[in-house]
Structure 1
Amino acid sequence: MRTSALFVFALSLAAAPIFAQTASPAGQSIADAVNDPARVADKADDARRKVADVMAFAEVKPGQKVLELIPGKGYFTRVFSAVVGPEGHVFLVWPDEYAKEDTEGVGATRTLIADAHYKNVSVLNQPAAQLSVPEKVDLVFTAQNYHDYPDAFMGKVDLAAFNKQVFAALKPGGLFVIVDHVAAAGSGMRDTDTLHRIDPAIVKKQVEAAGFVFDGESNVLRNPDDKHDLKVFDKSIRGHTDQFIYRFRKPKA
């Protein structure tokens, strides 16, 4: 009986942080955003892409300003828009070079911002090497695109300069969250243009060099069955690649 009682007590303690997180105002805002009827077409991907977990890790909150780099068809954009609400704003960056390659994504963005439901979303078109924002933001977010910036089609952006531009775009205490496909350990940037992957270690090194402080990682998108040797578009792994999520914080002072 004593063992059973201790077991039940331990379970209650383990469950408490989860309940506290989901019951928090920010957690409720994320839950409401994920369940927004306007994104019904995205729901089939939610379990695979762990959108609620990603949003919680990014610490996005109502009223914040978010800068999303290369938003694709707006999967994360729709959730960001709902979480930050009418007092917040979501800026979408389409680098000119990338926009030429993803006309479908650009078209989807145009459709999205034309919808009054997303009136707190706007688009910034600018050269890849000249990241800028009209006002300081609370969060800079990029999913599966950090590895693209140094590639030839983007003009071989200097990532040292790019990360400093991200740093400058953030408010003190602001976050830079990167989601990307994992490359083999020790490979650096060798596979960015071939397999569309990047070594997490080099990302951490590059971002910290710009003045950021590493603030944590999430393993919700990790896949130990991915051997890191296939292009991310290979049908045997597409949509299920091993992905890291890193969070970096700009110091408050």
Structure 2
Amino acid sequence: MRFLPIVFAAIAIVAPAMAAPADMAAILAGPQRSEANKARDQFRHPVETLNFFGLKPAMTVVEITPSGGWYTEILAPYLRDHGRYIGAGAFGGTENGAKSVAKFKAKLDADPANYGKVEVTTFGKDHYDIAKPGSADMVLTFREIHNYVTGGYGPETFKAFYAALKHGGVLGIVEHRLPENAPANREATSGYMKVSTVKRLAEAAGFKFVAASEVNANPRDTADYPDGVWTLPPTYQLGDKDRAKYAAIGESDRMTLKFVKP
């Protein structure tokens, strides 16, 4: 179904929050989620983020690079009965990528009750068949855009997102946010991206911008650390050095952007 231009304008101005599905609270508290992952809800705001993107139980959703499965623990049970969850695991032809996919599959195999219906595809440089063309209602990517760009396949990635989605389908992005006035070359090494860069990549692939949310904003994050975003939790690149300082800052300041395939 195609959206009319007037719809985009209206949504861009007004993006009302929706009530969480009745079973979402149970999923968030469920035993399939590790305690460490639950502790990060205060920084990642999964209910608010997924509501903003417009997640519904009967959707076909593709998550790009689910990695350790933080969002898989939420999305797979939520979509299990009425929708489809596809984890497009990082591969790209590398040994580390293959290990990442194998680890993700092992996680799924260990809990068939929650993950038995999960579909796995590969994603990475020269591996863009994340889902059947025009089959997905939603494509989600969390804190990964910088990897696609620095890896040299940013434009191809957004084209793959576009191809996988139905007309009217949503692309939801959460990414570490670099201030617009920061030197552009910091995007190459810091793990942070400018909102303008992400919008440019999405729009070049054909997407229309819908709205932005500040649900994952963190004004304490100055985004200017010598070791980049990995200085902050949960990575703590510097180990115990100034750990209390960075713990007090918390996880990174993040953009949360919603696009649609017209």
TM-score over 0.5 for the alignment?
yes
2:33 is matched with which residue? Answer: 39
* Residues 1:240 and 2:235 aligned together: no
Aligned residue runs from structure 1 range 195-234, under 5 A: 195-230=190-225, 231-234=228-231
2:21 is matched with which residue? Answer: 27
CA RMSD of aligned residues (A): 2.5
In structure 2, give the amino acid aligned to 1:214: F
Distance 1:161 1:81, change over 3 A: same
1:4 is matched with which residue? Answer: none
In structure 2, give the amino acid aligned to 1:138: D
Distance 1:81 1:63, change over 3 A: same
- Structure 2: runs of 5+ lacking an equivalent: 1-15, 237-244
Distance 1:98 1:27, change over 3 A: farther
1-side partners of 2:89 and 2:184: how far apart? 22
Answer 1 or 2: which has greater helix percent.
1
Comparing both chains, which one has the higher relative contact order based on Cα–Cα distances under 8 Å and sequence gaps of 6 or more?
Answer: 2
2-side partners of 1:187 and 1:209: how far apart? 23
2:145 is matched with which residue? Answer: 146
2-side partners of 1:120 and 1:79: how far apart? 14
1:8 is matched with which residue? Answer: none
2:136 is matched with which residue? Answer: 137
User: Secondary structure of the residue that 2:192 maps to in structure 1?
Assistant: coil
Q: 1:188 Cα deviation (Å)?
A: 7.5
TM-score (norm 1): 0.79
1-side partners of 2:60 and 2:222: how far apart? 37
Tell me the alpha carbon deviations over residues 157-194 of structure 1, each in whole angstroms, 9 at most, x when there is no partner: 1x333212211110111110111111131458623341
Distance 1:27 1:91, change over 3 A: same
In structure 1, give the amino acid aligned to 2:230: F
Q: 1:98 Cα deviation (Å)?
A: 8.4
User: Percent same amino acid at aligned positions?
Assistant: 26
Q: Verify the 8 A CA contact 1:191 1:197 in the aligned structure 2.
A: yes
* Residues 1:122 and 2:119 aligned together: yes
Q: Which of the residues 53, 59, 64 maps onto 1:64?
A: 59
User: Secondary structure of the residue that 1:27 maps to in structure 2?
Assistant: coil
Q: Verify the 8 A CA contact 2:58 2:82 in the aligned structure 1.
A: yes
1-side partners of 2:230 and 2:145: how far apart? 16
2:72 is matched with which residue? Answer: 77
Q: Verify the 8 A CA contact 1:188 1:201 in the aligned structure 2.
A: no
2-side partners of 1:130 and 1:210: how far apart? 17
1:10 is matched with which residue? Answer: none
1-side partners of 2:31 and 2:203: how far apart? 39
In structure 2, give the amino acid aligned to 1:141: L
Q: 1:147 Cα deviation (Å)?
A: 1.0
TM-score (norm 2): 0.77
Q: Verify the 8 A CA contact 1:148 1:192 in the aligned structure 2.
A: no
Q: 1:28 Cα deviation (Å)?
A: 2.1
User: Secondary structure of the residue that 2:66 maps to in structure 1?
Assistant: coil
2-side partners of 1:218 and 1:98: how far apart? 35
Q: Verify the 8 A CA contact 1:188 1:198 in the aligned structure 2.
A: no
